[in-house]
Structure 1
Amino acid sequence: MSDQGGANDAKPHSDLNSDPEGAEMEALAEAEQAGGLHAEKQRLEGEVANLKDKFLRAYAEAENIRRRAEKEVADAKTYGIASFARDVLNVADDLARALGAVEAEAKEKAEGAFKALLDGLELTERSLQKGLEKHGIRKVEPVGEKFDPNLHQAMFEVPDASVPNGTVVQVVQSGYVIGDRVLRPAMVGVSRGGPKVAPGEAKAENGSAN
């Protein structure tokens, strides 16, 4: 009986060994399942990469929009008063002309009501300039500086061999800048006939060459 039972117990193993086709199909099924899982993994990884790329692009675009908005707000704050400031400059010009029309000797000898009037004009001009500076508007008075077409408007040339050619030697009307923009260029007279390079600049160039 025991021998017969042992023979029966060993029979399933012999059945598996005697069915290689079934084992092969099972192996193929497992391989196919593994291949399907690998393909699914690749698909999901591709979707993740695609979503990550879209997120980064959207984030970059949002940052650009934020920076543009901040710049527009800053520009509006800085340059929003430009039109009004140009009108105020006319008042500043009138004050400067009124004070400039009075000779220095007359100012020194001024007394009474006339002196009070001059003092009032000077005080008003200083207050106006401080108010402009408070809002980022600076006066440009470039006498002695090299002519800069971005800041100055040449009205005439002045023959002068004592200063480098292209030096601002006279200001007809003061210029103004607001922030980093020109509100009004300075109207100037520019020297002609002098050396092309300032002596200090020439020495610097010679020193660097040596």
Structure 2
Amino acid sequence: MNETSDKRASRRSPRGDAARKAILESATRLFSEGGFNSASIADIARDVGMTQAGMLHHFPSKAALLHAVLLEREARNERDTQAEREKGLDPLTVFLHTLRNNDRNPPLVQLMTVLSAESIPANHPAHEWFEQRYEDIVTSTVEHFSAIVDEAALPDGLTVETVARWLIALADGLRVQWLYDQSSVSRQHSLAQFYDMVMRPILREPYRSFSWLQMIEDEAAK
């Protein structure tokens, strides 16, 4: 955040913060239901009982509102993930807990699924944001997984980055199936099975001897 943004933030009143929060919540819900093009500035303003001019006072354009929605979602997700890391958990467990926490809020899961798909065309206002997001996710996943993967145990041609991309793709693909039918699959359970069945041979000790599936079953029984 730059100095101008800092000053603007410091000038916000409680009433203005409440209005901004209401706009973000409305836009999040409407964008998750039908994507960026499904709701206009007028639709969102009407939904929160505000004039378009009043809404544009908080967000100068619909694209700016979209980016604010995405940044708010990511900030919330990062807070939850960082809280899990601070417990001293291994990266694979943190990933499982992040999926579990995300899936407790289906509208936010649907928001990211809908927007990440529709923003693939380069002219979409969120295209660059999602492109950078995936680059960052791969980079951070490789960084965290490198500490627990035994690279000497990797088959020829396989890298930690490859494994990281598999896990990201698996989580994203299961997300789509889960959104169609939440009773059909558990992302956390499925990833735990993948860890235990597929990843165990390439992990360092003590992780090679650990069962993530047993862990989440024990957690569920508490």
Instruction: Give TM-score, length-normalised by structure 1.
Output: 0.26
Larger Rg: 1
Instruction: Give TM-score, length-normalised by structure 2.
Output: 0.25
